[in-house]
Amino acid sequence: MVMSDMKYDYDLLVIGSGPGGEGAAMQAAKGGKRVAVVERHVSLGGGCTHWGTIPSKALRYSITSTMNALKNPMFREWGIRVSPTMKQLKQGTQAIIGKQVQMRQSFYDRNNVPVLKGTAVFVDDHTVDIEGERVTAGYFVIATGSRPFRPDGVDFSHPAIYDSDTILELDTKPHTITIYGAGVVGTEYASMFRNLGIKVNLVNTRDKLLEFLDDEIIDALSYHLRDQGVLIRHNETFESIEGCEGVGDCGAVLTLKSGKRLKTDVILWANGRQGNTAKLGLEAIGIEPNSRGQLIVDDQFLTARDHIYAVGDVIGYPSLASAAYTQGRAAAMHMLGEKDGNLRVHDIPTGIYTSPEISSVGKTERELTAACIPYEVGQSNFKSLARAQIVGATVGMLKLLFHRETREILGVHCFGVNASEIIHIGQAIMNQPAPNNTIEYFVETTFNYPTMAEAYRVAALNGYNRLF
């Protein structure tokens, strides 16, 4: 274990209080280190709590549950026909954020980790300046997160032009919206806005949606977005965005290099993110970010300096709150001398909150085919599950990929209601030591009935039937 060095104010100074910073701070504090966290925002939690994951998922739940209720035939029979505003749909979000901040503050209080308010700027290898005050530390974890990339020449102050942070400030429901960028954020918002009955253009710079997913999942997502009425445009590149000049809400125009022009009430820019490193004073310590402001790290999340770690969105992929927390813990454990390696970073499930949800872990069919691994497929369609029929969520499926000879589970892919929860059952079994990591577990295990988890037994049996 690294001993405390009393010549510094702290053993570890964490810059940023999002999931990555919190994970590092808590792990180091529990390891007996003197830890402090620097946070420039008025409240704890970082972008995850205030601008990204928590508010967007709260809004998604509000939209989904409200619109599902309004579609209930009983409401129509009773003559209830309402159209909730964006302001109404966001009403509970601030209360949720407040609870998250309060909970996180209690973690720091319980573990005697002070939160220093302000922006940290490196002065030298072991010193930062925080609003005029010098603070020293033996080690640092940079967990400053990211922000939406904003291209030059686009006026984001125009009332019809938003990025993925500011879109949550939208109080008036538009009739039409164009979303430029069909990554995770773009597809999630396309799904959300379409559920509200808003006409959606989804502009993709690639030839298919979310290329890192299994091809069958990609096809299912594309089909259901189109089935819901989303107009998807592939292989398009941005030329310019111009807000209309006029009285009232006059919208904005997206011009593409193909010559197409799309005019809608609102344009959401959802194409790429920029690491928050510009104001850290990294030039003083010889660390240079890449062109997107992201920091390069090794398997232990160390930067070019052997006492400075970086975790979370500031290092880029996979840019998930869940992964950031694990990365923060891994960095702190390495600093403490407790672990080499990065805590199962190969085992990070995707969680995409479209409607329906998508989640996956492990290899795709495309990857297994390219590697010449003899695999087989077991599949369960949600429409055949009693639980899905009861709750009226029959769209979706669970797919197990397993080795033909050893029966080892190689990948789990889910599309449908509660996919982000269901995936963890497969993840847990997939990572057991052999021979406990096979589809035999699902064949021989009794599942509650009726449940969505029962899809694992159905898929495993389906896969067995393909063997000969």
Query: Residues at the annotated binding site for FAD?
Result: 57, 144-146, 313
Which CATH fold topology does 161-271 show?
A: FAD/NAD(P)-binding domain (3.50.50)
As a whole number of Å, the end-to-end CA separation of the chain is 54
Are 362 and 401 within 8 A, CB to CB? yes
Nearest to 301 by CA among 258, 259, 331, 333: 331
The CA distance from 262 to 241, in Å, is 10
Closest CA to 190 of 355, 426, 417, 340: 355
Phi-psi region of 118 (alpha: psi -120 to 50; beta: other; left: phi over 0): left
Q: Determine how β-strand 358-362 pairs with β-strand 409-416.
A: antiparallel
Which carries the bigger pLDDT value, residue 213 or residue 69?
Answer: 213
Lowest mean pLDDT among 223-232, 244-253, 328-337: 244-253
Token look-up 């005029």 returns 132
User: How high is the pLDDT of residue 345?
Assistant: 62
Cα separation, 394 vs 381, whole angstroms: 8
Q: Give 135-164 pLDDT, tens digit per residue.
A: 999 999 999 999 999 999 999 999 999 999
- Rounded Cα distance between 336 and 31, Å, is 7
Residues in binding site for NAD(+): 181-188, 272
- Topology of domain 356-464 in CATH is Enolase-like; domain 1 (3.30.390)
Q: What's the farthest any 2 CA atoms get from each other in the chain?
A: 74
- CB 145 within 8 Å of CB 15: no
Q: pLDDT band for position 341 (50/70/90)? A: low
152 by Cβ neighbours in 10 Å (0-12 / 13-18 / 19+) ranks as: exposed
pLDDT at 155: 95
CB atoms closer than 10 angstroms to residue 80: 11
> 199-203 and 231-233 as β-strands: parallel, antiparallel, unpaired?
parallel
Q: Which of 313, 349, 318, 343 is nearest to 330 (CA)?
A: 343
Cα-to-chain-centroid distance, residue 308: 25
Q: Residue 13, SS3? A: strand
**Closest by CA position to 251, among listed 183, 201, 196:** 201
Which amino acid, one-letter code, is at 222? S
With 60 as the cut, is the pLDDT of residue 463 above it? yes
- Percentage of residues in the chain having pLDDT higher than 90: 84
| The pair of three-digit structure tokens given for residue 56, joined into one six-digit string | 């967007």
Entry pTM: 0.92
What's the one-letter identity of residue 15? I
Position 254 pLDDT exceeds 50: yes
Whole-number Cα distances in Å, 156 to 205, 210, 252 = 20, 26, 11
Q: What is the DSSP string of 87-155?
A: HHHTTTHHHHHHHHHHHHHHHHHHTT--EEES-EEEEETTEEEETTEEEEEEEEEE---EEE---TT--
Distance CA 312, CA 316 (A): 7
pLDDT for 1: 47
- The amino acid occupying position 361 is V
Two domains, one topology: 10-55+90-148+274-347 and 161-271: yes
The 10s digit of each residue's pLDDT in 78-91 is 776 677 888 888 88
Q: Which CATH number fits domain 10-55+90-148+274-347: 2.40.33.10, 3.50.50.60, 3.30.365.10, 3.30.1490.100?
A: 3.50.50.60
Kindly list the domain boundaries of the chain, sorted by start residue.
10-55+90-148+274-347, 161-271, 356-464
Q: Is the per-residue pLDDT at 249 higher than 70?
A: no
> Exposure pattern of 204-231 as b/e (b: 16+ CB <10 Å)?
bbeebbbeebbebbbebbbebbeeeebe
Residue 94: the pLDDT is 87
CA neighbor of 295 nearest in space, from 316, 273, 317, 323: 316
Tell me how many helices (H) and strands (E) the chain has: 14, 22
What SS3 class is residue 268? strand
